[in-house]
């Protein structure tokens, strides 16, 4: 007897989402093949990302299919973005009548699609549930809290996330410890990424493991002039020792210009030689695709970041990670991984970088459940309909 086709809507909004959605789409296809099931994934791209070209590059790198629906929301304030996504996504749900919605991460589209789904009484799964920074000044923290309260299935990456949810009164039967789905993407693509010619383009092929990699975009770091200047000053001291590579977020670049900090940087139009000229300056280029960035991260001596996901990826790769924040929603990267928190303290930033370059950075280990099979576990649980 032919099985009833079940329609699952998978929501992607920004680049970190794409890395979490790609393994789920692969796992659904494999589940259908092995079990003869008929799960039809419907990929909805909200367009929250500020740069469509960058989104397209990530889709190519991750071998994601073209979105079935592109909402084209664009940028705006938190309220504007959330409201526009809710309105547009509700129209999709009313038309498609899916059996399940899957949201990932903690961006504005995550909470917006959650609200639209639960008001239409459509079951909702949250992948990467239970993460908490305990800092409600972060908009992502609000998005996480509200999404987890409303979701029917909460898929967590670590035991600490389970504990957070239980402490908040979430019923245990809704919580599933499955691992980190972003690690699925990393492990699946790592060898391919290492073959990319990005190190040759940058003149670093012969000096792999002797450069620092930076990402920086959070308002607390780049929208406050004093904070940003402290961080740049620390990066310049690191740049006196080895090349510092900075694929720069567009909003960060705007702040560099606004604060008059351009003299600290060499701006490259494309990734090109970073070993000649401009010693002791920071090499800046446009944000990279997923595979090129993964290659740079895998070969770096140290990574400096304020991103959440990169804390996890460096832990898996065994690369020292210096996080320019005073809290993290991923404490497992501190207790088991390679991560340290330094906030925006220039002395601590430089000291931790020196430790890493001397081979004395944190020597962490990858949590056992981060094994590349998280998406497989999620799809298996959802296909059984354990909440029905």
Looking at residue 65, its pLDDT comes to: 92
Residue 295 to residue 306: CA distance in whole angstroms:
19
Q: What is the per-residue DSSP string for 130-141?
A: T---S-TTSHHH
Looking at residue 208, its pLDDT comes to: 64
217 noted as active-site residue:
yes
pTM for the model stands at 0.93
Taking a C-beta distance cutoff of 8 angstroms, is the pair 145, 167 a contact?
A: no
Nearest Cα to 337, choosing from 350, 322, 324, 352? 322
Looking at residue 207, its pLDDT comes to: 66
Strand order in the sheet with 282-285: 265-267, 282-285, 244-247, 212-214, 302-305, 321-323, 339-341
Looking at residue 270, its pLDDT comes to: 75
Number of H helices, E strands in the chain: 16, 14
pLDDT single digits (tens) 259-308: 999 999 999 877 776 655 556 789 999 889 999 999 999 999 999 999 99
Catalytic residue selected from 31, 78, 201, 217: 217
Burial class from Cβ neighbours inside 10 Å (0-12, 13-18, 19+) for residue 169 reads exposed
Looking at residue 204, its pLDDT comes to: 84
Q: Phi and psi (nearest 5°) for 280?
A: 75, 10
Domains of the chain: 6-179+371-384 (3.40.50.2000), 197-357 (3.40.50.2000)
Looking at residue 50, its pLDDT comes to: 55
Looking at residue 49, its pLDDT comes to: 61
Hey, what's the torsion of the CAs at 248, 249, 255, 258, to 10 degrees?
A: 80
Residues of the chain with pLDDT under 70: 1-3, 49-54, 207-208, 273-279, 386-388
pLDDT single digits (tens) 86-128: 999 999 999 999 999 999 999 999 999 999 999 999 999 999 9
Nearest Cα to 140, choosing from 165, 102, 104? 104
Looking at residue 2, its pLDDT comes to: 55
Taking a C-beta distance cutoff of 8 angstroms, is the pair 44, 68 a contact?
A: yes
């Amino acid at each position: 007897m032919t099985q009833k086709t079940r329609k699952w809507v998978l929501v992607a909004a920004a680049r970190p989402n794409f890395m979490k959605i790609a393994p789920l789409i692969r796992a659904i296809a494999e589940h259908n093949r092995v079990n003869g099931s008929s799960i039809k994934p419907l990929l909805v791209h909200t367009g929250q990302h500020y740069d469509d070209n960058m989104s397209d590059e990530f889709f190519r790198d991750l071998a994601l299919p073209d979105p079935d629906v592109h909402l084209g929301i664009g940028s705006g304030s938190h309220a504007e973005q959330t409201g526009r996504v809710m309105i547009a996504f509700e129209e999709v749900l009313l038309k498609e009548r899916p059996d399940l919605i899957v949201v990932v991460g903690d961006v504005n589209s995550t909470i917006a699609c959650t609200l639209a789904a639960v008001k239409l009484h459509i079951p909702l799964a949250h992948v990467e549930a239970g993460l908490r920074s305990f800092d409600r000044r972060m908009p992502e923290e609000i998005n996480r809290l509200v999404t987890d309260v409303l979701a029917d299935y909460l898929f967590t990456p670590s035991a600490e996330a389970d504990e957070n949810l239980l402490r908040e009164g979430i019923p245990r039967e809704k919580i599933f410890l499955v691992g980190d789905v972003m690690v699925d993407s990393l492990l699946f693509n790592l060898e391919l990424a290492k073959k990319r010619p990005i190190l040759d383009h940058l003149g670093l092929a012969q000096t792999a493991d002797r450069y620092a990699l930076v990402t920086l975009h959070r308002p607390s770091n780049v929208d406050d002039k004093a904070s940003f200047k402290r961080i740049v000053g620390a990066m310049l001291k690191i740049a006196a020792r080895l090349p510092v590579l900075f694929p720069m977020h567009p909003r960060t670049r705007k702040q560099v210009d606004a604060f008059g900090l351009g003299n600290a940087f060499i701006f490259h139009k494309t990734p090109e030689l970073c070993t000649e000229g401009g010693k002791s300056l920071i090499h800046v280029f446009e944000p990279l695709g997923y595979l090129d960035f993964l290659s740079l991260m895998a070969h770096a001596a140290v990574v400096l970041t304020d991103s959440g996901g990169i804390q996890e990826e460096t832990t898996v790769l065994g690369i020292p990670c210096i996080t320019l924040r005073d809290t993290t929603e991923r404490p497992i990267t501190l207790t088991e991984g390679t991560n340290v928190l330094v906030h925006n303290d220039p002395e601590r930033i430089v000291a931790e970088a020196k430790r890493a370059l001397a081979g004395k950075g944190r020597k962490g280990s990858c949590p056992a459940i981060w094994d590349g099979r998280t998406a497989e576990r999620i799809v298996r649980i959802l296909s059984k309909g354990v909440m029905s």
